[in-house]
Amino acid sequence: MRTIDSLGDVAGKKVLVRSDFNVPLKDGVITDDGRIRAALPTLNRLLDAGAAVIVMAHLGRPKGQVNLDFSLAPVAARLAELLDTEVFLADDVTGPSAVAAAEELEPGQVLLLENVRFDPRETSKDDAERGELADELAALADVYVSDGFGVVHRKQASVYDIAQKLPSAAGELVVKEIDSLSKVTSDPERPYVVILGGSKVSDKLGVIANLLTKADSLIIGGGMAFTFLAAQGYGVGKSLLEADQIDTVKGYLAEAEKRGVKIVLPIDVVVAPEFAADAPATVVPVDAIPEDQMGLDVGPETQALFASYIGDAKTVAWNGPMGVFEFEAFSGGTKAVAAALEKASAFTVVGGGDSAAAVRILGFDEEKFSHISTGGGASLELLEGKVLPGIAVLED
């Protein structure tokens, strides 16, 4: 994979950087700036080298239309604070504002293009349409750096097509992500424990299938655990259940037994009569979930069980929360996993998305984890063993 070093001297050049600034907003205020901070090493390196930096990114799902609810204005303001320099924001993606601002940009300055997904060509399935947008983006700069790991699994104009239009390379973040995630996908030090959570088994079918050939133990929590419990014959009450996946899960359980892979499921859960922050919480064994209750977290015995596997591991990958961590009463399982990872002597990777958000929201020290990925979908697809278009296009 080509790195920034392959681009040579960028002094005086205009460098187009694809970052991932898809940050959560509440009332126009950024609630987690982790992805913006993750972009700083690449941006500072280019600025220090004397480049003029043009950044493109997306926010939310504007569906190819200009929607100012998804403007990158709050991102530009926060990025300016973190870089301690002015960040100019274009009013469009490749229109008159972007073109004029790019032409006037001086070395050491930063321009942020408006939300690239305001342009429907960005996510088009038509190669020619994406290529047209990529040509317009390429006209703004001399070289391209791909640093938005959260989008490298997308075949989109600002990720894939642009890399074929300009001299291109992976940025610091993408290199770090690939290096770290390869340690848990290629030749992990054993015992290798994978923790999967989140709501649906169907979101992680390929990941589970691939990890059954790689992991020593597979810990299953979150809403997806109830489909596994149902596959073992347990009643799950009103808990989230994908009944159409029960046979698939039975196949996984049989395959794991054949391969000697331990699938670790909850032994107790925290239940409530409804999905609400103030719903009365009760801990019950998994064989005694009331019919009128739903499981919203793993229980204390399960937390200790999961922690014991983490403590014995040499490599751990975690993707997906153990419960509804946004509600205090149902955050214990996710906290327990994060705390066990924080203390572990293993190489620990937190696989982006809700897991990474949980680490920050629940107040854990990010420095205590070997790597916290910025890409939920991208890290999942790597764990699944897929080729990522935005990475493949950067390889010689």
- Give the DSSP H/E element, type plus range, for residue 372: strand 371-372
pLDDT the model gives residue 32: 87
- Mean pLDDT across 186-202: 93
Integer Cα distance of 197 and 224 in angstroms: 7
Predicted local confidence at residue 307, as pLDDT: 98
Mean pLDDT of 87-92: 98
Task: List C-alpha distances in Å: 381 to 17, 210, 370.
Answer: 23, 10, 20
Select which of 64, 311, 377, 385 is catalytic. 377
Asked if 155 is an active-site residue, the reply is: no
Among 35, 121, 238, 335, the one annotated catalytic: 35
Radius of gyration of the chain (CA): 22
Catalytic residue among 131, 148, 237, 353: 353
pLDDT at 11 over 90: yes
- Is residue 357 predicted with pLDDT exceeding 90? no
Other C-beta atoms closer than 10 Å to the C-beta of 68 total: 10
pLDDT bucket at 352, cuts 50 / 70 / 90: low
Residue 242 to residue 329: CA distance in whole angstroms: 24
More confident residue, 148 or 384: 148
**CA 164, 167, 173, 177 torsion: positive or negative?**
positive
pLDDT at 353 over 80: no
Mean pLDDT of 23-49: 94
Per-residue pLDDT band at 214 (split at 50, 70, 90): very high
Compute the mean pLDDT over every residue in the chain, rounded to the nearest whole number. 96
Average pLDDT for residues 54-69, to the nearest whole number?
Answer: 97
According to DSSP, the residues that pair with 284 across neighbouring strands are 269
The pLDDT of 195-221, averaged and rounded, is 93
* Mean pLDDT along residues 126-133: 98
Residue 186's pLDDT band, with cuts at 50, 70 and 90, is: confident
Is 59 annotated in a binding site? The answer is: yes
Active site residue 251: no
Which domains, ranges and CATH numbers included, belong to the chain? 4-172 (3.40.50.1260), 181-384 (3.40.50.1260)
pLDDT of residue 360: 85
Does 58 have pLDDT greater than 90? yes
Residue 377 annotated in active site: yes
The answer to whether 242 is annotated as binding is: no
Q: Is the pTM of this model over 0.85?
A: yes
- Pick the catalytic residue: 200, 250, 262, 368? 200
Per cent of the chain over pLDDT 90 is 88
Q: Is 355 annotated as a binding residue?
A: yes
Q: What's the sign of the alpha-carbon dihedral 44, 48, 51, 52?
A: positive
In the structure, what pLDDT confidence band is assigned to residue 119 with cuts at 50, 70 and 90? Answer: very high
As a whole-number percent, the residues of the chain with pLDDT over 70 amount to 100
Average pLDDT estimate for 203-227? 94
Residue 364, marked binder: no
pLDDT exceeds 90 at position 354? no
Look up 353 and say whether it is catalytic: yes
Any known ligand binding at 20? yes
